[in-house]
Amino acid sequence: MYWKPTLLSLASLASTVIIAALAVRGVDGPLALTVQSPGVALWAVHFNRSRSVPIRVSWIVAMWLALVVSFSLAGGPLAITLFLGTSAAVGCLIGYQVLTSSFQNEPFLKTRDDLMLFGKAFIACVLSAMIIAFVGAWITGAGSVLVAALAMGTLTAMSFGLAIPMICHTTPSKHSPWVTEHLLHWVAVCALTLLLFSTPKGQSLIYLLVPLVGYAALRFPLKEAIAPVWVIAGSAIVLEYGLVPGSHAIKTTFSIPLPADLHLVPVSTLTLVCLFVVIIANITNEQLTNVRGELKETAAQLEETLQTATGTALLETDMLGKIVFFSRGAELMTGYEAEEVLGRSPAIFFSPESLTDISRRAGVPEPDADQRKSHADRYNHIGFTLGKRAITRPAKGYDWKFTHKDGRNRWASTFITPKLNEHGKWVGFVGTCEDVTRRVESARSLNEALSKEREAVLRLAEVDRVKDQFISTVSHELRTPITNIIGYTELLEDGDLGPLNKEQDQAITRISFSGRRLLSLVNDLLTLSRVQQRGLEKKTAAFDLRDIVRSSVDLVKPAGGGAQQPEITVDLPESPVCIAGDGEKLERAVINLLSNATKFTPPDGTVHVSLVTDEESVRVSVADSGRGMSEEEQALLFTRFFRAESAERDAIPGSGLGLSIVKTIVDLHDGEIDVVSAPGEGSTFTIRLPKAECQGDGKTPAA
């Protein structure tokens, strides 16, 4: 499980020992400082593998001691050696702490966010090392503080950058390079590195190594791609100090005079450039590979979904109108197999008449004369117009009549949209269709039924008009003889035509009662006829509502036939109740309420009429102690020809028009009417009307 970290650990330890031994043998210059990179790698491996605080502290101390020893071998003063060792150790520790969020997480280098976090950790590491080296050089006075800071920043950056990625969790490579490819790449890296660093003329070409490491980043896993960077850095240092037998040190300075402590800056810069090329290219490439794989998988799933979506037909055409995709749903909808239609125009599904209908309903103008070459050209003109229209506004679906393979005519709700490639170029059309034959046929049947019903309504309206005209004519014809009958009965009752005996007087009373009731029915029919034909006409005048109530009671009382009717009591205010309206119609409304109350109240019952005023309205109430009504009957009370069940059962005379006429009259005066009733407890009808201001005499409303 840990063979790779162990191998890195062994390699780092071996590198540390070899470089330290070379330094002990007297190799001058800052060569001993290069023990820093393998030493940091050795620390990072074991520090990352352990979770024990004492062991981690031990490895921090070991790294610090190794760095101090290596710096001391370079021959510097003890104080500056301690500062340099401390700066490198603290810098690497701070960078690792940033990378792992205060040692809480494992280090990762898989995504762009991981790369950004690594960059922050790298900057924190380098800045910390440079600050401590700067302060140490300033305190000890050992040389230039800027040189010390730059030298330590460069070495620490190379050490942290080479060591830490080797312990990070990385994405497994999707590529499978051959062994030969690995060998060739390593041979090329080693050969080019030796060639470029073995002669001063090769210094200007050392950045040719960058494409090689970039190739490794694109083909190999991240840690394997970083390994050549180690080789480049190590080879450059060995050649830099002439450690190869028979060779001479060739300083890589790019012809720039540098202090001895900064001779490793060019090599470190090259190392860091190669390192970040590898890391950025590898992570980007792996992410792109993953995205391509996800897109390919999504496309495969989408194609599978399209093929299994049997309820919807999908077809694609190129810019010439030839079918390039035909889904399984399209096969089921049209009856054609995909092999039969690919490369052909969708015009095979539509008749010329169908295209004409589609063009008309979709608002597509007729094609120019030079475009009317064939049936397919006509379809292409419609599809192109609708597809172009869908670029700037949402596609609108239309019902297209198409022909099934078996010859049947069917309907499909169709949307046509443009098909764009990955560069946004228009390359064809996409048609989405849903079979709506049942809906269209149902709508057609419904329209036919509605048409027949409309004709029936018109016929009924004509019948109703003739009926109303007949009622109006008959009512007018009946009113005159009934008025004559009532007039002669009054003459007989008053004795103007001679005295009557008791039996004759009773007969005349019954004739008068029946005549008045018949006249009331005729008046109701005439009122109903006027309402239906042109509505009620309101003649506004000023009057005292008390007079309307008194006259209504007087007109109803004679029709009561004496003791056979309930007693009517009246409660009126002493002062005038002013109102503006049509007195004749309001009197008709009160009479109808009183007539209803006397009909449905037994002779020993009572009917009470009251008139009450407040600041804004007046209320006329007619209360009786009759049989009352249920809530269901009250809901239908003001509809025409409605008769309560009890009235039908007890054969109480009436037309069912009185209350509907009352409601019409009250509405005409901007008033309201309501009823309070319960079975066996009587009923109370209340009319509310707007109040008017009285004139100076206090008896009539103000104008």
pLDDT tens across 17-61, in order? 555 554 444 444 444 445 556 566 666 666 666 777 787 777 777
Contact (Cβ atoms closer than 8 angstroms) between residue 624 and residue 600: yes
CA 330 to centroid of chain Cα atoms: 30
Give the burial string for 25-52 (b: 16+ CB within 10 Å, else e).
eebebbbbbbbbbbbbbbbbbbbbeeee
Q: What confidence score (pLDDT) does residue 110 get? A: 85
CA 164 to centroid of chain Cα atoms: 46
Q: What confidence score (pLDDT) does residue 120 get? A: 92
Structure tokens at 127: 């800045």
Residue with tokens 């070409």: 205
- Name which of 109, 125, 114 is nearest 157 in CA terms: 125
The CA–CA distances, whole Å, from 579 to 192, 545, 554, 616 equal 116, 6, 21, 11
Phi, psi of 221 (to 5 degrees): -60, 160
| Rounded Cα–Cα distance for residues 622 and 594 (Å) | 7
Angle at 18 between CA 14 and CA 19, to 5 degrees: 120
| Rounded Cα–Cα distance for residues 156 and 421 (Å) | 49
β-bridge mates for residue 674, sequence order: 686
Secondary structure class of 53 (helix, strand, coil): helix
- pLDDT under 50 in the chain at which residues? 1-3, 22-33, 246-249, 559-563, 698, 702-703
| Rounded Cα–Cα distance for residues 429 and 318 (Å) | 6
Q: What confidence score (pLDDT) does residue 621 get? A: 92
| Edge-to-edge strand list for the sheet holding 672-677 | 567-571, 606-613, 617-624, 683-690, 672-677
Residues 649/650/652/654 CA torsion (nearest 10 deg): 0
- pLDDT tens digit string along 211-230? 888 888 888 888 888 888 88
Question: What count of Cα atoms within 13 Å lies in the side-chain half-sphere of residue 637?
Answer: 21
CA-based torsion, 73, 74, 77, 80: positive or negative: negative
β-bridge mates for residue 332, sequence order: none
Q: What confidence score (pLDDT) does residue 476 get? A: 64
Q: What confidence score (pLDDT) does residue 622 get? A: 92
Number of C-beta neighbours around residue 371 at 10 A: 13
| Rounded Cα–Cα distance for residues 510 and 201 (Å) | 144
Alpha-helix runs per DSSP H in 310-429: 328-334, 338-341, 352-362, 375-392
The burial of 672, by beta-carbon neighbours within 10 Å (0-12 exposed, 13-18 middle, 19 or more buried), is given as middle
Contact (Cβ atoms closer than 8 angstroms) between residue 519 and residue 475: no
Number of C-beta neighbours around residue 460 at 10 A: 11
- Name which of 585, 578, 581, 556 is nearest 568 in CA terms: 556
- Name which of 572, 611, 579, 575 is nearest 701 in CA terms: 579
Alpha-helix runs per DSSP H in 423-544: 437-494, 502-533
CA-based torsion, 28, 30, 33, 35: positive or negative: negative
- Name which of 629, 630, 551 is nearest 594 in CA terms: 551
Across the chain, how many H-helices and E-strands are there?
Answer: 21, 14
Contact (Cβ atoms closer than 8 angstroms) between residue 278 and residue 226: yes
DSSP type of residue 560: G
Number of C-beta neighbours around residue 602 at 10 A: 12
- Name which of 68, 67, 94, 90 is nearest 79 in CA terms: 68
Q: At residue 635, what is the residue type?
A: A
Alpha-helix runs per DSSP H in 141-221: 145-163, 179-197, 209-219
Residue with tokens 């996409």: 430
The burial of 268, by beta-carbon neighbours within 10 Å (0-12 exposed, 13-18 middle, 19 or more buried), is given as buried
SS3 breakdown of the chain: % helix, strand, coil, rounded to 5? 60, 10, 25
The CA–CA distances, whole Å, from 660 to 447, 461, 630 equal 35, 20, 18
- Name which of 427, 191, 437 is nearest 313 in CA terms: 437
Q: What confidence score (pLDDT) does residue 559 get? A: 43
Q: What confidence score (pLDDT) does residue 306 get? A: 60
Secondary structure class of 611 (helix, strand, coil): strand
The burial of 258, by beta-carbon neighbours within 10 Å (0-12 exposed, 13-18 middle, 19 or more buried), is given as middle
pTM for the whole structure: 0.45
Q: What angle, rounded to 10 degrees, do the helices at 78-99 and 36-49 form?
A: 40
Number of C-beta neighbours around residue 455 at 10 A: 10
